[in-house]
Amino acid sequence: MTTFYIILVVVLFALAISDLIVGVSNDAVNFLNSAIGSKSAPFWVLMIVASLGIVVGATFSSGMMEIARKGIFHPQHFYFSEIMIIFLAVMITDVILLDMFNTFGLPTSTTVSIVFELLGAAVAVSIIKITNDPNALEITEYINTGKAMAIISGILLSVVVAFSVGAIVQYFTRLIFSFNFKKNVKRYGSIWGGIAISAITYFILIKGAKGTSFMTSEMKAWISENTLLILLYSFIIWTVLLQLFSWIFSLNVLKTIVLVGTFALAMAFAGNDLVNFIGVPLAGFESYKAWIADAGNPDTFSMSMLTGKIKTPTEYLIIAGLIMVITLWLSKKARSVVKTSLDLSRQDEGEERFGSSIFARSVVRGGLNLNKYVTKLIPATVSQKIDKQFDQSSYLQEKSDDDKISFDLVRASVNLVVASILISFATSLKLPLSTTYVTFMVAMGTSLADRAWGRESAVYRVTGVLTIIGGWFFTALIAFTVSFVVALIINWGGIVAITLLIALAALVIYRTHLIHSKKESKKEKELEEENIVYEKSKVLQKSSSKIIYNINQFSDLYNKTIVGLINEDRKQLLSVKNEVNQLNTNAKKLKDNIFKTLKNFRDDSIESGPFYVQILDYVREMAHCMTFISNPSFMHIDNNHPGLAQYQIDNLIKVKLDLNEFVQKMLKIIESEEFSEVETAISKQQEILELLDDYRKEQINKIKSEDTGTKNSMLYFGILYETKNMLLFAINLLKAYRDFLLLSKTSAKS
């Protein structure tokens, strides 16, 4: 029996390491978002600052997290064997859940996850106790339901307050500094820096250092009693220092605020959220040591010892901190989560990650109507002055120098200051609060106030924010449910169930790793293409390769569709359908990014711009044609409708062969740039069009003689019609490319 529980403790610590890795990947957005978004320093500098914050915060975290021991359930009413089931269920669930969210780049709360996992597992074990023991207590005696309700209330409160305060502070800060903030920073920068770093300093004391082993209860009481004095002295000292450094060393005050804030939030994350990952395993280890010391029956040994205070060994904290730092440097999933937050808060337009929703459209429509009403109440002169402060021309000029900046240093500093104040204030009042929720919603509020959510992007940004907020509540529900089920399975299946569940967790992590790696590889490839400078030679080369690639894709997918339909191969048609959908997505992305492409054309290449637009239009239309061929073909076979008649098969094979010949002719013209051969391609196109017309007439005669079914005929007609359209668009694409290339070369010579 002892060996069994030793294995469970080892498993708990192994899961803790995995949880640390996925936890850092999730929570990195809290302290890296503002620094990376504003590019306040080179990436390696930001990582060093964040790493130092994590190490310091980890060593400052001295007591074990009470929520893991007695915050959600009353441990004195449980036995050792039951406690180990609860802890194991929690850790297995937490690893899987956080890894899933990280894979799809959605920031969630590790605090909410751990709380509801503890609640779910504890409820499951409590039900088992009540079912098996007629003398058992009521479930309310086992579970601390008040804590769970307080955290749910904290979620709602933090979401609303963080968003609102972030928006208000950013609005007035932008009114003071404007987007052309360099002059105003010289005037008011040290004062703003004094306020900002004073707030962050207080945040470090309240949120970061309150759990340190060297800080006595008297020191903590003194800090609490002298809050205003600390803030006042801190403001004076920082303001004077920043002004002196600005004069003597030309110190950038805003960058200093961002770096200090990044350190503070990283420190707070490690000092407080660290226990979300190692609190449960350490509680399990302490439970094991108490049981071994007593050498009692695990099914009757009470866990009353968990109600007292237990200090976490410093070496465990240091090891955990180092694991988090290594993960921070190596984890690509951490950067995916950060990217989601940056995409939703970036100042400029571009490709949006989220789509549109009915609710988001209603919210945006309501916001526009409210804005119109408020605008009427404000005098025109005042509105003009406000609009001047929000003029983004200086920001756009800065963007041209470095396209990676998502927002400026003013907004980055506001993000960190407001998040620091809100978190430290809530902590001083002992209110349950999620660091993730606060930092994310502050970032969303500041982006709204900064007019980053323009009419081009507002509906997509609102949808994204609502999706993530919904995911937070969904996290609570799924964490409770999965942990509940896992606890029941462990209780029922014992060591076999534990082994299978751990194997399942490993499989899920492996699969999500493959999914994420595939997504990242695809994104890196797309990013490489987007980063090409659109000079004459590059844009010609890029356009040619894109056209050749797309034409080959159309030809290949058309062939696969016809072959799959003839053979009634559902699997192949499904694969083609998915490939065509991806082709459509890529074509849409090319068209959506046309504004960015044209903006980067050199002045002497502008005349060729309209032809480039035409090329993308025709690629998009050909992708639509393939969609209307592949999807109905798959649905026809998937619904088990009759296959094609022999004459239809023969006709489509003939069309397929002629189309391949036509495509090869097109590719040869494009690659060799022998545009005198365009007329030959047009002749081949006309030949195929006449053939398609003959096949349509033949099919009509077959219908009249009732030699074919309705479904069969509709599919056949559809394929012939879309093939005709694709040929028409293909020739137009070839002509547009010819004109684009010739005009570009003419411009280059002049």
pLDDT value at position 670? 82
Q: Pull the structure tokens for residue 106.
A: 């959605």
Q: How far apart are CA 740 and CA 654, in angstroms?
A: 33
pLDDT band at 693 (very low <50, low <70, confident <90, very high): very high
> Given this model, what pLDDT does residue 136 score?
77
Residue 745 has pLDDT above 80, yes or no: no
Q: DSSP secondary structure string, 650-698?
A: HHHHHHHHHHHHHHHHHHHHHHHT-GGGHHHHHHHHHHHHHHHHHHHHH
Residue bearing the bigger pLDDT, 167 or 212: 167
Mean predicted confidence (pLDDT) in 548-577: 88
> Which residue would you say has higher pLDDT here, 274 or 430?
274
C-alpha of 696 from chain center: 49
Burial class (CB in 10 A: 0-12, 13-18, 19+), 140: exposed
Place of tokens 């404000």: 378
Structure-model confidence comparison of residues 152 and 97, the more confident one: 97
* CA atoms of 317 and 227, how far apart (whole Å): 29
Q: How confident is the model at residue 544 (pLDDT cuts 50, 70, 90)?
A: low
Express each pLDDT in 51-110 by its tens digit.
888 888 777 665 434 554 556 777 788 888 888 888 888 888 888 887 777 777 666 777
pLDDT in tens, 158-167: 888 888 999 9
Q: What is the pLDDT of residue 236?
A: 92
pLDDT confidence bin for 357, thresholds 50/70/90:
confident
pLDDT surpassing 80 at residue 431: no
402: pLDDT strictly greater than 50: no
- Residue partners of 50: CB distance under 8 A and separation at least 6: 28, 31, 32, 35, 262, 263, 266, 328
Q: What domains are defined for the chain?
A: 2-524 (no CATH), 533-749 (1.20.58.220)
Q: Which single residue is written with the structure tokens 């074919």?
A: 708
pLDDT at position 533 is 42
- Check whether 285 has a pLDDT greater than 60: yes
Q: pTM value?
A: 0.72
Structure tokens at 237: 């000292």
CB atoms within 10 A of CB 142: 23
pLDDT at 451: 82
The alpha helices in 250-273, defined as continuous H runs, are 253-268
Q: What per-residue confidence (pLDDT) applies to 604?
A: 47
Query: What pLDDT is recorded for position 264?
Result: 82
Q: Which residue has the higher pLDDT, 146 or 87?
A: 87
Q: Which of 122-131, 180-189, 485-494, 521-530 has the lowest mean pLDDT?
A: 521-530
pLDDT value of position 427: 65
Q: Give the separation between CA 443 and CA 446, rounded to whole angstroms.
A: 5
In this prediction, residue 536 has a pLDDT band, given cuts at 50, 70 and 90, of very low
What band does 678 get if pLDDT is binned at 50, 70 and 90? Answer: confident
Check pLDDT > 80 for residue 215. no
Q: Is the pLDDT of residue 730 over 70?
A: yes
HSE-CB for 667 with a 13 A CA cutoff: 16
pLDDT of residue 485: 92
Res 401: pLDDT: 46
Nearest to 544 by CA among 682, 737, 698: 737
Task: Look at 603 and 662; give whichever has higher pLDDT.
Answer: 662
Report d(CA 3, CA 18) in Å as an integer.
23
pLDDT for 540 beyond 50: yes
pLDDT: which is higher, 578 or 316? 578
Residue 749, pLDDT above cutoff 70: no
pLDDT > 60? residue 214: no
Mean pLDDT, all residues of the chain: 78
Rounded distance, CA 519 to CA 383, Å?
Answer: 45
- 599: pLDDT strictly greater than 80: no
Mean pLDDT to the nearest integer, 389-393: 78
Confidence band for 561, pLDDT divided at 50, 70 and 90: very high
pLDDT tens digits along 2-51 = 777 788 888 887 877 777 777 676 666 667 778 888 788 888 888 888 88
The whole-number average pLDDT for the span 427-447 is: 76
Half-sphere exposure of 615 (CA within 13 A, CB side): 27
Of 124-128, 405-409, 411-415, the poorest mean pLDDT is in 405-409
What confidence score (pLDDT) does residue 723 get?
A: 92
